[in-house]
């Protein structure tokens, strides 16, 4: 039987506010255990939550970026359950009237483009961490993370492969970083995915029973966990079994998912509106202000690069993958408005290649956009060849902010385009390589390239290659 | 001295006829003598109180005093006070020394008042008799066989027995007003949101409101001047211009329209309460007030609505008492679930458990709509009744409690009967309206009776004014229990 996969994702995005969503404690990562848990975070008797307006602003910013509706009033609700790392015995979250409703994002796999609709995005607080290391038979509790603001982003079940799920997660990851609401650090748990996976006979319009896979903290694990789970579900069904609705955990070491709890064990969370927090009224003016401060979004930039700079969709996608890369490109191309393709090639080629090799991010690039643009300008005006330019780039990378011109001058790398000088080298090379000249004239094209190479070598690479070609052809034709 | 008003104490202190240390020591001595029997205080810490008194004396000496600097006040044990054992009347907090001050505690501290100790209360403020306290029942100083009311029973007893010139209370469904009535003192629950809830251990967040308890309306006004104010740490705290609650005390009540809800004067009220209330109303007639019958048709639903909503919120608010981070933890446990179960089974008393169960039930999947949501709708209707009534009258009056104080033990096994103690007070709580109780006489066994005054939102000054006028014309509020040797 043919099967099709249905996937919906719930992604927890940690908001990059300075303080927690309901207290003034810092959210900085990596502090000693419980050093960033204030009276509110450890839920002392009598303490009360106070909403961090910045977290609301970030949620609205996200809503604006995906074309969603902002609910006003937005309501906070208590999700009640007992766990040692949940100090109040309830999590402040949202159930009805989440702050963000609807919206959509465009994802791309291979050459396919697809719109994924979002159900909602709501604000909530994170729990603390239980740790077993270093405590014999006991559990340690670190409440530093307790109360950190999260935006839980829930998609419609509209993805039908692990590739689409990964593309969705990547697009969202890029977007939340792009609009500055999350640092996107997956190792530190700033961006965590849960996947709801089900399968059904191809063509069916009834959803199969789903399993939720929790806490997938890398795109690779997301992909592998879904692939494993889809295979497991299909195997189960084809062997006459049925899928039990349950929550599963992905074990990366074994590359499998395992049952954590089934629906019957599910908690009754007894949600109700939190009486300590008033409904959040969000004015139209506030929304408009946030909208007006929104940066140009990746989708808009991508389209502009294709239309105005004639970049291929492929190039435009790569260059808008992160805000930092896109900004780097933007700043470079602003200085060379006619040379979009050249800028793109260099940034995707030399610059990215070198960054990858050295494990650097674009915002750590030793060559800044202005330096790069000046170098590319020297290619376009014929001062240096593309090949020499790579040497100059190399010097720049290792140098300390030297301009392209300074390096070209210091190393005497200026391209030679003077016909008479080039002709001199041509003549010398022809005289010294009679056999190759004869070969060429006998029809061996390869001999021509050899001769060009010799001339370039003689000029120490500085001869204008185009001119070398023309002048050599002219001489050989005589 | 023991019967002096706050204004009298204030002038004695500022004229340096008495020091705060002398005054504080006198009340501490009195507590030492009488508290063993009355059980009004859970915690007394002479050293801490005397240190505060010395600070107050310095403030006075340096001319930095406020009107109430140097005057002792007893704090209900629901308020966290830095360095003080703060139990909320529960075993589960029997070892909890608060590392911080509630806003209310801080306000009195900054005004230079002296914390005289932490008063007994029903466990987590759940009760109307002070019998649910882990620290034993409080006795009514007018008749030691009787309860003092609750949940602020320790505070009411302390003021009535002259163990403290004033005390704080909190009111969720009547917990200031009912014990004030049963102990013959004055108490006011302000409009919801006027006094910060920060540091006040939550019972039902949407209803809890702190207020003062004292001998007279004038004393209450002075105390309210300190307690009321916006607090950025409480999101439900209201941002309003500062008011002087003493400003209208001397105004005439002539022409005032007093609303008498027919539902409050129907069956249920005992005859001694009825005649004392009638006599108080007659006094108001003499003072020039007029009466109008109003109707609060949904107020009969107030108790059931209250006993859905308050437990719902409480079931969640009390989840933090899990034995993990602070408070009582069971001695032996096999695993995490066992730790939770035993800690909470041993740490909470029966009434608290009953309400957690009710609250958990009404919030459960499948019952939420029928109970919690329905109760929220009725809560709105109850509030609308008052809005309508206040178009016809300025204030509403009635009995605070349907009966005088009952005997200790009498209603312990009858929760429904106990819950009906709040029959007149819970409606105003649900509506978020200010309510107060003042003593207006005595009923059977010479037990005190209170008059309940409900004002419109933010009309505390007007309520204090009409209570003060009554207290200028009568002396019920000046009477002290005979057996306390005042």
Between strands B257-261 and B209-214, the pairing is unpaired
CA-based nearest distance A197→chain B, Å = 25
CA-based nearest distance A39→chain B, Å: 9
pLDDT tens for B26-75 read 999 999 999 999 999 999 999 999 999 999 999 999 999 999 999 999 99
Do residues B178 and B144 make contact, with C-beta atoms less than 8 angstroms apart? no
Quick check: B466 and B253 in contact, CB under 8 A? yes
Cβ atoms < 10 Å from Cβ of B324: 23
Residue B342: the pLDDT is: 98
**Pairwise CB contact (< 8 Å): B235 & A278:** yes
Predicted pLDDT of residue A263 = 66
Where would I find the beta strands (DSSP E) of A202-303?
211-216, 246-251, 256-262, 272-273
Residue B170 and residue B183 in contact, taking contact as beta carbons nearer than 8 Å? no
Q: Which residue has the tokens 């030793």?
A: A366
Predicted confidence at residue A96, as pLDDT, reads: 95
**Closest by CA position to A151, among listed A136, A172, A133, A128:** A172
* DSSP bridge pairs for A44: none
Mean pLDDT (whole number) for A23-33? 93
Which residues neighbour B66 within 8 Å (Cβ) at sequence distance 6 or greater? B111, B112, B226
User: A116-149, pLDDT tens digit by residue?
Assistant: 999 999 999 999 999 888 888 888 999 999 999 9
Burial class (CB in 10 A: 0-12, 13-18, 19+), A132: exposed
HEC string of chain B? Answer: CCCCCHHHHHHHHHCCCCCHHHHHHHHHHHHHHHHHHHCCEEECCHHHHHHHHHHHHHHHHCCCCCCCCCCEEEEECCECCCCCECCCCCHHHCCCECCCCCHHHHHHHHCCCEEEEEECCCHHHCCCCCCCCCCCCCCECCECCECCCCCCHHHHHHHHCCCCCEEEEEECCCCCHHHHHHHCCEEEECCCCCECCCCECCCCCCCCEEEEEECCHHHHHHHHHHHECCCCCCCCCCCCCCCCCCCCCCCCCCCCEEEEEHHHHCCCCCHHHHHHHHHHHHHHHHCCCEEEEECCHHHHHHHHHHHHHHHHHHHHHHHHCCCCCCCCCCCCCCCHHHHHHHHHHHHCCHHHHHHHHHHHHHHCCCCCHHHHHHHHHHHHHHHHHHHHHCCCCCEEEEECCCCCCCECCCCCCCHHHHHHHHCCCHHHHHHCCCEEEEEEEECHHHCEEEEEEEECCCCHHHHHHHHHHHHHHCCHHHCCCHHHCC
Kindly tell me if the per-residue pLDDT of A221 is higher than 90.
Answer: yes
Q: Which two tokens stand for residue B378?
A: 């009725």
Average pLDDT (A419-446) is 88
A51 in contact with B at a CB cutoff of 8 Å? yes
Q: Do A89 and B233 touch (CB under 8 A)?
A: no
Q: How far apart are CA B456 and CA B454, in angstroms?
A: 7
Q: Which residue has the tokens 């999350």?
A: A182
Q: Do B236 and A50 touch (CB under 8 A)?
A: no
Domains delineated in chain A: 3-286 (no CATH), 296-410 (no CATH), 419-477 (1.10.10.410)
Q: What is the pLDDT of residue B341?
A: 97
| pLDDT at A264 > cutoff 70 | no
- CB pair distance less than 8 Å for A46 and B233: no
pLDDT at residue A68 greater than cutoff 90: yes
Locate the chain B residue with the closest alpha carbon to A92.
B316
Neighboring chain A residues of B202 at a CB cutoff of 8 Å: 46, 48, 276
Residues of chain B with pLDDT under 70: 485-486
- For chain A, percent of residues with pLDDT exceeding 70: 99
With CA atoms as reference, the chain A residue closest to B323 would be: A84
Positions of B marked catalytic: 76, 151, 175
Q: How far apart are CA B76 and CA B153, in angstroms?
A: 9
* C-alpha distances in Å from residue B17, one per residue of B12, B52, B114, B118, B187: 5, 19, 18, 28, 29
Interchain proximity A45–B96, CB inside 8 Å = yes
Least Cα separation, residue A249 to chain B (angstroms): 21
CB contact under 8 A, B233 and A50: yes
Residue A401's pLDDT band (cuts 50, 70, 90): confident
For residue A402, the tally of other CB atoms under 10 A from its CB is: 15
Which residues does residue B195 pair with via DSSP β-bridges, in sequence order? B228
pLDDT at A80 over 70: yes
Question: Which residues of chain B are at the A interface, by a Cβ-Cβ cutoff of 8 Å?
Answer: 79-80, 86, 88, 93, 96, 98-100, 102, 197-202, 204-206, 232-236, 312-313, 315-316, 318-322, 324-326, 336, 340, 360, 363-365, 368, 372
Mutation site for B-interface testing, chosen from A45, A74, A91, A277 by largest number of B Cβ within 10 Å: A45
ipTM (interface pTM): 0.96
Contact (CB<8Å) B312/A272: yes
Residue A34 has pLDDT above 70, yes or no: yes
Which of A90, A141, A268 lies nearest to residue B319, judging by beta carbons? A90
Task: Give the residue among B438, B469, B440 at the shortest CA–CA distance from B454.
Answer: B438
CA distances to A2, B34, B40, B74, B98 from B118, in Å: 73, 15, 9, 6, 12
Q: How far apart are CA A415 and CA B381, in angstroms?
A: 88
Q: Please enumerate in sequence order all residues whose Cβ is within 8 A of that of B443, keeping only pairs 6 or more positions apart, or say none.
A: B270, B272, B273, B276, B403, B404, B449
Q: Is residue A266 pLDDT above 80, yes or no?
A: no
Q: Which two tokens stand for residue A462?
A: 């500085």
Q: Tell me the pLDDT tens digit for each residue of A379-399.
A: 998 888 888 899 899 999 988
Query: What distance in Å separates residue B383's CA from the closest CA in chain A?
Result: 17
Domain segments of chain B as ranges: 6-258+391-484
Question: How many Å lie between the alpha carbon of B236 and the closest alpha carbon of chain A?
Answer: 7
The pLDDT assigned to A352 comes to: 94
How many Cα atoms within 13 Å fall on the side-chain side of residue A217? 11
Q: Please report the DSSP string for B420-433 in residue order.
A: GGGTTTHHHHHHT-
**pLDDT of the residue at B373:** 97
Give the one of A45, A270, A276 whose C-beta lies nearest to B360's C-beta.
Answer: A270
In tens, the pLDDT along A185-196 reads: 999 999 999 999
Looking at the DSSP assignment, which residues form a beta bridge with residue B41? Answer: B119
Whether A343 has its CB under 8 Å from any CB of chain B: the answer is no
Architecture of B6-258+391-484 per CATH? Alpha-Beta Complex (3.90)
Contact B42, B158 (CB under 8 A): no
Chain A: residue whose CA lies nearest to B314: A275
Read off the pLDDT of each residue in A271-279 and give the average, rounded to a whole number.
97
A98 touches chain B (CB under 8 A): no
């Amino acid at each position: 039987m043919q099967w099709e996969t249905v996937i919906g994702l719930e992604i927890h995005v940690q908001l990059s506010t300075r303080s927690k969503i309901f207290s003034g404690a810092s959210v900085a990562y990596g502090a000693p255990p419980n050093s960033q848990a204030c009276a509110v975070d450890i839920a002392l008797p009598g303490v009360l939550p106070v909403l961090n307006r910045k977290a609301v602003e970030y949620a609205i910013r996200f809503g604006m970026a995906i074309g969603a509706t902002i609910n006003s009033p937005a309501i906070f609700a208590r999700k009640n359950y007992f766990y040692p790392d949940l100090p109040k015995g309830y999590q402040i979250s949202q159930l009805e009237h989440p702050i963000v409703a609807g919206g959509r994002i465009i994802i791309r796999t291979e050459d396919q483009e697809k719109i994924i609709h979002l159900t909602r995005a709501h604000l909530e607080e994170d729990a603390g961490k239980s740790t077993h290391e270093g405590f014999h038979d006991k559990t340690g509790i670190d409440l530093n993370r307790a109360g950190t603001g999260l935006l839980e982003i829930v998609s419609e079940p509209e993805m039908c492969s692990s590739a689409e799920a990964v593309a969705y997660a990547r697009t969202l990851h890029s977007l939340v970083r792009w609009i500055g609401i999350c640092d996107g650090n997956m190792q530190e748990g700033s961006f965590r995915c849960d996947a709801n996976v089900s399968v059904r006979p191809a063509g069916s319009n009834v959803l199969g029973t789903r399993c939720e896979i929790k806490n997938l903290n890398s795109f690779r694990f997301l992909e592998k966990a879904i692939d494993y789970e889809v295979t497991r579900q299909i195997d189960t069904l084809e062997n006459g079994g049925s899928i039990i609705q349950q929550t599963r955990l992905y074990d990366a070491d074994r590359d499998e998912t395992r049952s954590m709890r089934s629906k019957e064990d599910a908690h009754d969370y007894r949600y109700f509106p939190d009486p300590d927090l008033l409904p959040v009224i969000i004015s139209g003016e506030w929304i408009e202000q946030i909208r007006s401060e929104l940066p140009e979004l990746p989708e808009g930039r991508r389209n502009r690069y294709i239309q105005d700079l004639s970049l291929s969709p492929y190039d435009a996608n790569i260059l808008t993958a992160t805000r930092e890369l896109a900004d780097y490109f933007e700043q470079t191309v602003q200085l060379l408005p006619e040379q979009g393709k050249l800028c793109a090639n260099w940034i995707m080629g030399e610059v990215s290649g070198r960054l990858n090799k050295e494990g650097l991010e674009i915002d750590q690039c030793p060559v800044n956009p202005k330096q790069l643009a000046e170098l590319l300008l020297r290619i376009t005006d014929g001062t240096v060849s593309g090949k020499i330019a790579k040497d100059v780039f190399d010097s720049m990378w290792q140098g300390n902010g030297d301009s392209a011109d300074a390096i070209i001058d210091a190393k005497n790398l200026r391209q030679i385009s003077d016909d008479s000088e080039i002709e001199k080298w041509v003549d010398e090379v022809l005289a010294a390589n009679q056999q190759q000249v004869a070969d060429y004239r006998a029809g061996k094209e390869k001999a021509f390239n050899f001769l060009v190479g010799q001339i370039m070598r003689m000029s120490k690479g500085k001869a204008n290659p185009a001119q070398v070609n023309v002048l050599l052809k002219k001489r050989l034709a005589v | 001295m023991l019967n002096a008003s706050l204004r009298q104490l204030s002038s004695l202190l500022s004229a340096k006829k008495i020091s705060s240390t002398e005054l504080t020591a006198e009340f501490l001595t009195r507590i030492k003598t009488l508290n063993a029997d009355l059980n009004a205080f859970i915690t007394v810490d002479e050293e801490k109180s005397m240190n505060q008194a010395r600070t107050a004396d310095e403030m006075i000496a340096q001319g930095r005093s406020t009107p109430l600097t140097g005057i002792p006040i007893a704090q209900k044990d629901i308020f966290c006070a830095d360095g003080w054992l703060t139990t909320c009347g529960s075993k589960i907090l029997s070892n909890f020394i608060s590392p911080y001050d509630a806003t209310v505690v801080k306000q009195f501290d900054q005004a230079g008042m002296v914390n005289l100790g932490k008063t007994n209360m029903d466990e987590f403020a759940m009760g109307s008799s002070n019998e649910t306290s882990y620290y034993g029942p409080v006795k009514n100083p007018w008749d030691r066989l009787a309860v003092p009311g609750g949940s602020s029973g320790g505070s009411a007893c302390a003021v009535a027995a002259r163990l403290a010139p004033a005390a704080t209370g909190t009111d969720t469904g009547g917990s200031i007003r009912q014990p004030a009535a049963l102990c013959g003192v004055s108490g006011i629950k302000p409009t919801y949101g006027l006094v910060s809830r920060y540091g006040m251990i939550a019972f039902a967040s949407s209803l809890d409101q702190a207020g003062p308890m004292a001998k007279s309306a004038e004393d209450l006004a002075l105390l309210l001047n300190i307690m009321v104010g916006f607090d950025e740490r409480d999101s439900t705290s209201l941002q309003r211009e500062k008011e002087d609650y003493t400003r209208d005390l001397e105004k005439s009540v002539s022409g005032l329209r007093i609303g008498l809800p027919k539902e409050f004067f129907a069956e249920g009220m005992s005859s001694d309460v009825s005649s004392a209330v009638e006599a108080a109303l007659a006094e108001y007639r003499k003072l020039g007030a007029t009466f109008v019958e109003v109707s609060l048709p949904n107020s009969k639903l107030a108790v059931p609505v209250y006993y859905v909503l308050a437990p719902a919120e409480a079931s969640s608010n009390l989840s933090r008492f899990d034995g993990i981070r602070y408070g009582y933890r069971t001695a032996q446990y096999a695993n995490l679930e066992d730790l939770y179960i035993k800690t909470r089974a041993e740490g909470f008393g029966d009434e608290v458990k009953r309400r957690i169960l009710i609250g958990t039930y009404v919030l459960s999947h499948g019952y939420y709509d029928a109970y919690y949501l329905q109760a929220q709708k009725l809560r709105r209707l109850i509030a609308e009744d008052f809005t309508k009534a206040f178009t016809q009258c300025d204030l509403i009056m009635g009995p605070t409690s349907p009966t005088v104080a009952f005997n200790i033990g009498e209603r312990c096994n009858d929760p429904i009967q106990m819950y009906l103690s709040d029959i007149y007070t819970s409606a105003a709580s649900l509506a978020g309206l200010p309510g107060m109780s003042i003593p207006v006489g005595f009923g059977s066994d010479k037990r005190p009776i209170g008059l309940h005054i409900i004002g419109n939102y933010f009309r505390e000054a007007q309520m204090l004014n009409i209570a003060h006028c009554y207290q200028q014309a009568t002396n019920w509020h000046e009477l002290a229990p005979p057996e306390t040797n005042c």
